[in-house]
Amino acid sequence: MSDDANSGTRDRLLAEAVGLREAGEREEARTRLLALAAQHPGDAEVAYQTAWAHDVLGLEAEAVPFYERALDDTAAPRLGEEDRRGALLGLGSTYRVLGRYDQAVTTLRRGTEEFPEDAALRTFLAMALFNIGRHEESTRLLLGVVAATSDDPYVRRYRRAIEYYAGNLDETV
């Protein structure tokens, strides 16, 4: 079979598996993605979707190697920007859930460096920082997210003060 035919089959099978996951057929999606990942071990997108399929089933430990493979810079082709963002958040969050807090912080910090505008990555980083006892940095990040993203009229009214105190939590009169 030609590379184009293999690529078309891979694309079709991947789309079907993702569709199953989105339709709530999570176990069937996982089964199909595991088979596809075995056929395409260096494929970052297949690895990412396989990680996601494990994550939604609460199989975080099994998701980790697939997330790591998806984020491997030697993978060809590499993940697109949105999938990379999702994989960094997914892996960081998964590390945190598994109690691997230092790895969570490292991964989520990498995500916030690559995608500084992503409030979800900053929020998950704040949670991981809390877990390692970095409460001040965690609170600063969360206050920054609240100030930048809240539509609450009262938060918006005090946005400048919240942003200021995010960087000056210990300040008193």
- The pTM (predicted TM-score) of the whole model is 0.89
**Domain 80-173, CATH among 1.10.10.10, 1.10.287.130, 1.25.40.10, 1.10.10.60:** 1.25.40.10
Fold of 1-79: 1.25.40
How many CB atoms sit inside 10 A of residue 58's CB?
11
pLDDT in tens, 127-144: 999 999 999 999 999 999
pLDDT in tens, 40-64: 998 999 999 999 999 999 999 999 9
Q: What is the pLDDT of residue 75?
A: 66
Give the domain ranges of the chain. 1-79, 80-173
The encoded tokens of residue 123 equal 């929020």
Q: Which residues contact 17 (CB under 8 A, 6 or more apart)?
A: 29, 32, 33, 36, 49, 53
Residue 121 confidence class, pLDDT cut points 50, 70, 90: very high
